[in-house]
A and B are shown apart, each in its own frame.
Chain A
Amino acid sequence: MSEPLLSARGLAIAFGGVRAADGVDLDVAEGEILAIIGPNGAGKTTFINMTTGYLRPQAGRILFGGEDITGLAPRAIVRRGIARSFQIPQLFAEQTVIENVALKVAARRGFWRAFTPLLDHTTASEAMRLLEQVGLAQLATARATELNEGARKLTDVAMAMALEPRLLLMDEPTSGVASAEKFAVMDTLVGALRARRTTAVFVEHDMEVVERYADRVAVWSQGKILVAGPPREVLADPAVLREVIGVETAHAGA
């Protein structure tokens, strides 16, 4: 097998007494779509934060395309081709959905234009295409503040995709999205990722979504990876069922 696109070795970080990462080793292959599951507080978001430069690991290394990116600033990491969406997205509140996405398109395609509109033909149509991929085309001219949680998250995903990253990290992209729409959104989203051969990692609580769209799933528990492997096997593992999915369903029921 060729060298993994992303490779984490021995990542560790603790907040006070809480070990959010406790020796995490994880490889993500080029073109792969990996799901991360695990109970709340397991350290899933923390992993994404460390990979994107929002947190500096206290130990361990992160390699991206063979280069050590541990502790680089978020801006430097974005430039190397890693984009993310957030568990709690923060959009540009005074602008419309399409302007939000277009700003990211422009950030990639040439930002330093002072006298041609942000929403010129190419930028606008590209932003629109991205919004279609997450099923938000009809909300393009809504203000960012008018969106519900699901739409905010998907806007955030479209904004991350606008950077055309090699690796896309999504933190619970479909939470808040109505279950009736989840699969339709994931169909087009994952379709677009695969068409572009974008490598992706997404945190997910819905096991059906994981099973349908992930090539591989990694199970997080208390700052460690419990198991990782193909969804069908992992989700059938009794230990996983007990440790994680039991917790998940109990949690979902609560």
Chain B
Amino acid sequence: MMPRATIVALLGTVGILAAAALAPWLKFVLTVALAKGLAVMGILLLLRAGQVSFGHALYLSIGAYTVAFLRPAVPDLLVLLPLAAAVALGVGLVIGLFVARYRDIFFGMLNLAFSMVFHSLLEKLYAITKGTDGIRVFRPTVAGFALERLPYEWAVLGLALLLALGLGWLAARFLVSPLGQALVAIKTRETRLEFAGVSARRVLLVAYAASAALGGLAGALLACTTLHVTPHLAYWTQSGELVFIAILGGGGSILGPYLGSVVYELVRVYAAAALPDAWQMVLGAVLLGIILFASRGLWGLYEDLVMRGWRRA
């Protein structure tokens, strides 16, 4: 199981690098996909506990705005990214202390409420955030080097890939650790966990904080890729997108988020342009379809195909 996932991850890495080399415009799309995959991995942690957050765009935007605000003072990408993750982690811990007391509906909606508040603050506090105009981010240096556009794009893509691989590996280990397994236990029988002397709230808080940090990191990568941040990053549609990708990719493997986000971004490039006012509708319909008919997502479909292939062989 595990080695097979590693092989798929390495093949995916090669595929992404090859695609970016062959079709330069794909570099941007794939970087964005990898960044979102990181955030979706956070959503996946929460889904393990049976919880869904409709507000994780909050952490995307916190990460992105941290980069935008700090870029003048902190010029380097390799410093900006951890800083953004740390700020998101801090906010996640504080909000997590509150939302980890809740489950299901409350958990989902309280997260939505927090993100909507932040979105409106980003729009209204014009003096600080420049409102809907957003803030332009000047290309950061990478490890001290001021790179031209092309090498910079490669550097960000490479970094996103490394982060996806490294953090994906860590997350996969997390899922089989006592804490990760306790998340699954929260989903099925939370009180029994409590009665073994383990605080379910604290377990969920750990996952929540991790998901916030991942969201912040993803947002920072997005900011460094698009070089422009706007309040739209905090809007509910962004949160919905993360949830959508998580369900699309499937929760069975840590590769699900990346499979989901690459497919999603590739389709979006064409489809969202073709139907700008119906894009959410298409997503909603596909989401309904997956939940009602293929609840294990793309990764589940892939597994079924491989399994069938093996049996035939």
Are chains A and B native binding partners rather than an unrelated pairing?
yes
Q: Name A residues whose Cβ lies closer than 8 Å to a Cβ of B.
A: 52, 74-75, 78-79, 90-95, 99, 102-104, 106-108, 111-119, 123, 159, 163
Contacts of A114 in B (CB 8 A): 173-174, 177, 179-180, 206
**Contact A94-B192, Cβ < 8 Å, known A115-B173, A118-B177:** no
Q: Quick check: is B184 within 8 A (CB to CB) of the other chain?
A: yes
Checking B170, B179, B184, B185 against A112 with a beta-carbon cut-off of 8 angstroms, the contacting residue is B179
Q: Is the beta-carbon distance between A113 and B179 smaller than 8 angstroms? A: yes
Considering only CB atoms, which chain A residue lies closest to B169 in the complex?
A: A115
Q: Is the beta-carbon distance between A113 and B177 smaller than 8 angstroms? A: yes
0/1 string, B184-209, CB within 8 A of A gives 1: 11011100111111110000001000
Contacts of A112 in B (CB 8 A): 178-179
Checking B170, B177, B184, B196 against A107 with a beta-carbon cut-off of 8 angstroms, the contacting residue is B196
Cα-based distance from A90 to B56 in the complex (angstroms): 32
Contacts of B197 in A (CB 8 A): 75, 78-79, 107-108, 163
Q: Quick check: is B181 within 8 A (CB to CB) of the other chain?
A: yes
Q: Is the beta-carbon distance between A103 and B196 smaller than 8 angstroms? A: yes
Q: Name B residues whose Cβ lies closer than 8 Å to a Cβ of A.
A: 170, 173-174, 176-182, 184-185, 187-189, 192-199, 206
Q: Is the beta-carbon distance between B189 and A119 smaller than 8 angstroms? A: no
Q: Is the beta-carbon distance between A78 and B177 smaller than 8 angstroms? A: no
Q: Is the beta-carbon distance between B177 and A117 smaller than 8 angstroms? A: yes
Q: Is the beta-carbon distance between A118 and B192 smaller than 8 angstroms? A: no
Considering only CB atoms, which chain B residue lies closest to A80 in the complex?
A: B197
Contacts of A119 in B (CB 8 A): 176
Smallest beta-carbon distance B274→chain A, Å = 40
Q: Is the beta-carbon distance between A75 and B195 smaller than 8 angstroms? A: yes
Contacts of A118 in B (CB 8 A): 176-178, 180-181
Other A-B contacts than A95-B181, A95-B188, 15 sampled, CB-CB below 8 A, are A75-B194, A75-B197, A91-B192, A92-B192, A95-B185, A103-B181, A107-B193, A111-B179, A111-B198, A112-B178, A115-B177, A117-B177, A118-B180, A119-B176, A159-B196
Smallest beta-carbon distance A70→chain B, Å = 17
Smallest beta-carbon distance B143→chain A, Å = 27
Considering only CB atoms, which chain A residue lies closest to B50 in the complex?
A: A94
Checking A104, A106, A117 against B173 with a beta-carbon cut-off of 8 angstroms, the contacting residue is A117
Cα-based distance from A52 to B195 in the complex (angstroms): 9
Smallest beta-carbon distance A227→chain B, Å = 32
Q: Is the beta-carbon distance between B178 and A103 smaller than 8 angstroms? A: yes
Considering only CB atoms, which chain B residue lies closest to A74 in the complex?
A: B195
Contacts of A92 in B (CB 8 A): 184-185, 188-189, 192
Cα-based distance from A131 to B59 in the complex (angstroms): 44
Chosen A-B contacts, 14 in total, with CB atoms closer than 8 Å, are A90-B192, A94-B184, A95-B185, A102-B178, A102-B181, A111-B178, A111-B182, A114-B179, A115-B173, A115-B177, A116-B177, A117-B173, A118-B177, A118-B180
Considering only CB atoms, which chain B residue lies closest to A79 in the complex?
A: B197
Smallest beta-carbon distance A195→chain B, Å = 23
Cα-based distance from A75 to B181 in the complex (angstroms): 19
Cα-based distance from A99 to B180 in the complex (angstroms): 12
Considering only CB atoms, which chain A residue lies closest to B190 in the complex?
A: A92
Cα-based distance from A216 to B65 in the complex (angstroms): 69
Smallest beta-carbon distance B77→chain A, Å = 26
Cα-based distance from A90 to B195 in the complex (angstroms): 12
Contacts of A163 in B (CB 8 A): 196-197
Checking B173, B189, B199 against A116 with a beta-carbon cut-off of 8 angstroms, the contacting residue is B173
Cα-based distance from A116 to B176 in the complex (angstroms): 8
Cα-based distance from A39 to B250 in the complex (angstroms): 50
Cα-based distance from A119 to B177 in the complex (angstroms): 8
Contacts of B182 in A (CB 8 A): 103, 111
Cα-based distance from A235 to B189 in the complex (angstroms): 39
Considering only CB atoms, which chain B residue lies closest to A123 in the complex?
A: B178
Cα-based distance from A102 to B184 in the complex (angstroms): 13
Which 7 A-B residue pairs are closest in the complex by CB-CB distance?
A106-B178, A107-B196, A93-B188, A78-B197, A118-B181, A92-B185, A74-B195
Cα-based distance from A159 to B170 in the complex (angstroms): 28
Smallest beta-carbon distance B65→chain A, Å = 28
